[in-house]
Structure 1
Amino acid sequence: MKTKLKDELRHLEQDLWAISKQMFDHPELGDQEYESMKRLTSLLEKHGFSVETGIVNRPTAFKAEISSEKPGPKIAYLAEYDALPGVGHGCGHNLIGTMSVGAGITLSKVIQETGGSVVVLGTPAEETNGAKVAMSEQGVFQDIDVAMILHPSDESYVSGESLAMDAIQFAYTGKASHAAASPEKGINALDSVIQLFNGINALREHLSSDVRIHGIIAEGGKAANVVPDYAVAQFYIRAKERAYLNEVVEKVKNIAKGASFMAGATLEISNYELSYDDMITNQALSEIFTKNLKQTSKLPIKEAKQSYGSIDMGNVSHVVPAIHPYIGMNKPGLVAHTKEFADQTITEDGFQTLISGALALAGTGFDIITDKKLLESIKREFHNK
């Protein structure tokens, strides 16, 4: 049956490659991926999927589904297709989107025999305000058995961990005055921001080594001779686990409140982007995917790399068994979020990445649908964790 998967993908590969190159040539930022979404959903509809766009109140999000007349597990592949400003597809989302769509269509060609259902979810804005967060919160994964996404990289790595992350904004309001003629009449909002940074730097000594806190002064005043009446700091705060991150965030908020008292400014705290949970890789699912990738790719597969980044796939992994492995583009040392990375996606190696990745994802879905004990072990691990 897996030979049939390979044959079905062969019929698709030129369509997928054309879409990937079109996305490369016309990159679209998060929540603006209208043409990319249209290309991907049009191909899914062509192959019998029922498509709903604009889900979870995100115009460029979609859900495509096709079901067998026989019962069986529901396999979800997640597609990303947002680009980076000034870089284009420097994170390879043109490949992620086409690999997931290719895997979904390929697997759909055999489910009338095996049973089960296939879902492809279009998840916009992974780089900024990931739609997977809303999907996880609003029940999109409620009836899905497993969720998979495959990310291009310099080399192949098994699915690992990512850090939970909150994006917190601290906005201070003071009182403007002439900084030289009447400084005593002003309340310096920028002073609160500076004390916030100082307090956070002091806090670092007393946090576990996995924590990452990094921020900027988004607004700090307009002129040196005017006491700043408004100042804003934005921070990403990350930790290995969501529970500990929540503790760290409370400590930072308390520092922020103290900084407001020190200068006499008022403080407003908000989240300026959605929060990401830590990635919990389902090992049983990861092992079967790795086995399939070894059959479709000649490149070595390394152990999970230590990650200090954050991904919205982490939120998915808290509600359904999930993996987020990496597939190599045969260029060790290649750095993501660069023009060089984007260019590699449209080489012959990029094409092979697309085909090998789509086939490995489809093969993993096939194994889960046809092996009841495998699915049971995946779900048992998920519930135990």
Structure 2
Amino acid sequence: MTSDNALTSVEAAVRRRSGDLVELSHSIHSEPELAFAEHRSCAKTKALVAERGFDIAAGTAGLDTAFRAVYGAGSLAVGICAEYDALPELGHACGHNIIAASAVGTALALAEVADELDLTVVLLGTPAEEAGGGKALMLEAGAFDDVAAAVMMHPGSYDMANARSLALSQVAVEYHGREAHAAVAPHLGRNAADAATVTQVAVGLLRQHLNRGQMVHGIISEGGQAANVIPARSAMDYIMRADDTSSLRELRDRMSDCFRAGAVATGCDFEVRETEPTYLELTPDRWLADLFRKEMQRLDRNPVTAQIEAGSPFGSTDMGNITQAMPAIHPIVGIDANGASIHQPVFAKAAAGPSADKALIEGAVMLARTVVGLAQCPTERDRVQEQHLAR
């Protein structure tokens, strides 16, 4: 099969299934499910590839809502990552319904040319991107061991071919004090809510001195039950982000001192625990990203410049862990959300609108054609396979 024939074939395959893919996206959008509980969404994502003859293994890496669906037996195995978890209260305000449908479209298209291009197509259902780090857990468990390169797309407010993201660490902090009557015997109490307050003040003052690219944000999830009882327990959730893992380690050390300050100032005990794997920084493969950029331009999209890409990290994602392990990309495909950004209610509504439907179809087309380009370029194919062998 010639290069042009393969490129034409995968695009035609996506567009031929566009109705099914849009229906899948809307169905997932209508029944949002949270991290590690995406049972309906996972089943829906598997259905179309099961019909196409993919070999599906459920419960990958011991995760009930993870799966691997494989087609072909070529020497180059390429993974396509599907996300389908939603946000509490906001539903699919990150557009993971679009991600799942575009991943399925990409996999179905590549199945059409797998034999001719000596490809193994691996669709990976990856739960809990919003909280839980499904990809990091799957990577550690070996679910990506046979994969030489990985691709996915993410909807956003603009087109970005070489998107990057920040490293992330999330922790739960608990303070344990002593109850007492707030009026009769306050001196007998140790106020865990005050410990949380001291911590928030310390973190607020620290922000002035954070290094470039470092961020912290958090909430008090528990701060007492009754105003006339000294709270014996408080709880906080904090997220720390940085440009890279080295900077993140430094930030975590400084934040640890803030957490300790709350305990020291109030006489409370405290504990800090990680609530999910560390998300590593997203470092896309330059060659794959450049090829995806050309696909964007071919479809009359207008990806932002490299200068803007460098200064505009796209939050944090466990796909960063995959990009640290192998050549991979996570481009942003823009949708019209009336100026809203991800994680806003307006974006959730837009994620099932006409612009989102167009993004998922074009996203699948661009991803499939990018993989075809990799498979048909001997030097780049050799490069990713040599890196895979080195792993």
What TM-score do the two structures reach when normalised by structure 1? Answer: 0.92
Let me know the Cα RMSD of the aligned residues: 2.2
Question: Does the CA contact (< 8 Å) of 2:11 and 2:368 recur in 1?
Answer: no
Deviation of 1:211 after TM superposition, in Å, equals 1.1
| In 2: Cα distance, 1:332 partner to 1:301 partner | 18
Equivalence for 2:9: 4
1:33 to 2:33 alignment? no
User: In structure 2, what is the equivalent of residue 349 of structure 1?
Assistant: 355
- Read off the aligned partner of 1:193 and give its amino acid letter: A
Q: Deviations over 1:96-118 (max 9, x none)?
A: 10111110111111111110211
User: What does 1:143-158 correspond to in 2, within 5 Å?
Assistant: 143-158=146-161
CA deviation string 1:133-153 (max 9, x = no partner): 201222222221111110112
Unaligned runs of 5+ in 2: none
Letter in 2 for 1:140: A
Q: Which residue in 2 is equivalent to 1:113?
A: 116
**Does structure 1 residue 170 correspond to structure 2 residue 173?**
yes
Distance 2:52 2:376 in 1: 22
Match of 1:114, SS?
A: coil
Paired with 1:86 and 1:173, the residues of 2 have a C-alpha distance of 29
Tell me the secondary structure at the aligned position of residue 281 of structure 2: coil
Identity score, percent? 31
Which position in structure 1 is the counterpart of 2:135? 132
SS where residue 116 of structure 2 aligns?
A: helix
Task: Report the alpha carbon displacement of residue 332 of structure 1 after superposing the two structures with TM.
Answer: 6.7
Q: Cα deviation per residue 1:244-267 (whole Å; 9 max; x = unaligned)? A: 111211221133223312222111
Matches within 5 A, 1:1-385: 1=5, 2-68=7-73, 71-295=74-298, 297-303=299-305, 304=309, 306-307=312-313, 309-330=315-336, 333-377=339-383
SS of the aligned residue for 1:19 comes to: helix
The Cα offsets for residues 192-251 of structure 1, whole Å up to 9 and x where unpaired, read as 222222222232233202111111221112222222111112211111111111121122
Q: Partners of 2:209 and 2:344 in 1: how far apart? A: 34
What is the rounded CA distance, in whole Å, between the counterparts of 1:97 and 1:286 in structure 2?
Answer: 20
Change (3 A) 1:30 1:51: same
- Stretches of structure 1 that go unaligned for 5 or more consecutive residues are none
Deviations 1:317-341 (A, max 9, x none): 1111111111122567342223432
Paired residue type of 1:373:
T
The 1:52–1:223 alpha-carbon spacing in structure 2 relative to 1, beyond 3 Å, is same
C-alpha contact (below 8 Å) 1:277/1:315 kept by paired residues: yes
Instruction: Note the alpha carbon deviations across 1:248-300, whole angstroms, 9 max, x for none.
Output: 112211332233122221111112344211111211111112222333x2221
**What is the alpha-carbon distance in structure 2 between the residues aligned to residue 37 and residue 338 of structure 1?**
24
Contact 1:75 1:144 in 2 (8 A): yes
Q: Secondary structure, in 3 states, of the residue corresponding to 2:17?
A: helix
Query: In the comparison of the two structures, how many residue pairs are matched?
Result: 381
Q: Do the aligned partners of residues 185 and 340 (structure 1) sit closer, same or farther apart at CA in structure 2, a change above 3 Å counting?
A: closer
In the TM superposition, what whole-angstrom CA distance separates every residue of 1:300-327 from its partner, at most 9, and x where no partner exists? 1113260262111111111111111111
Amino acid at match of 2:67: F
- Give SS of 2:287's match: helix
Shift of residue 177, structure 1, vs aligned partner: 1.3
